[in-house]
Structure 1
């Protein structure tokens, strides 16, 4: 895949917005891909996930969200890395815990996405959520 890092990152966001999840997303990642999520409102301790865990989490998210959007504010290639500043918006599909159907969640993201041979090898993400209503 002779794509730039930003092209790969934007393609992943487009697939997520289109409702793709689980194994439908595997084509974007290397087999040994990882995500590092820094502490945030939803995951106070942060976390680290390998590809199977990422795909499982996307399945869970698909059941929780009726829609999601990525408003990319800036996206730059730095070598083999895409450096992204975006605003994510998700709409809750059903009541669950503190979340209510129709509730809109907003997070301001800084993501560093490492690309290897046209696929995502690592995502490091800083997700700053706005207060939950």
Structure 2
């Protein structure tokens, strides 16, 4: 897991998470998030500086004020050079 995280830091120069919406029900919060990441290095046919985008649904379950569980569902936009 640490190796994958380090590889990600070398591949993505910067990233941003924008919360587009949130809904709460009981101890669960659902978030709609837009993620953007800028490539630090070329990746396949994509040049360094290319912006990647993903639409993410995140579900957080809380207990005693702490996050007990998290589930993410990611949908990446098609890669186009």
After TM superposition, the score normalised by the length of structure 1 is 0.50
Larger strand fraction of residues: 2
The alpha carbon displacement at 1:97 in A equals 4.1
* Paired residues for 1:1-133 under 5 Å: 53=1, 56=2, 57-97=4-44, 99-133=46-80
RMSD: 2.0
The alpha carbon displacement at 1:80 in A equals 2.1
Offset from partner CA, 1:91-121 (integer Å, 9 cap, x none): 1111244543111111111111223344333
Larger helix fraction of residues: 1
After TM superposition, the score normalised by the length of structure 2 is 0.76
Offset from partner CA, 1:54-112 (integer Å, 9 cap, x none): xx244332221111111211012222222001111111111244543111111111111
Structure 1 gap segments, 5+ residues each? 1-52
CA distance in 1, matches of 2:75, 2:52: 11
Report how many aligned residue pairs link the two structures.
Answer: 79
Structure 2 gap segments, 5+ residues each? none
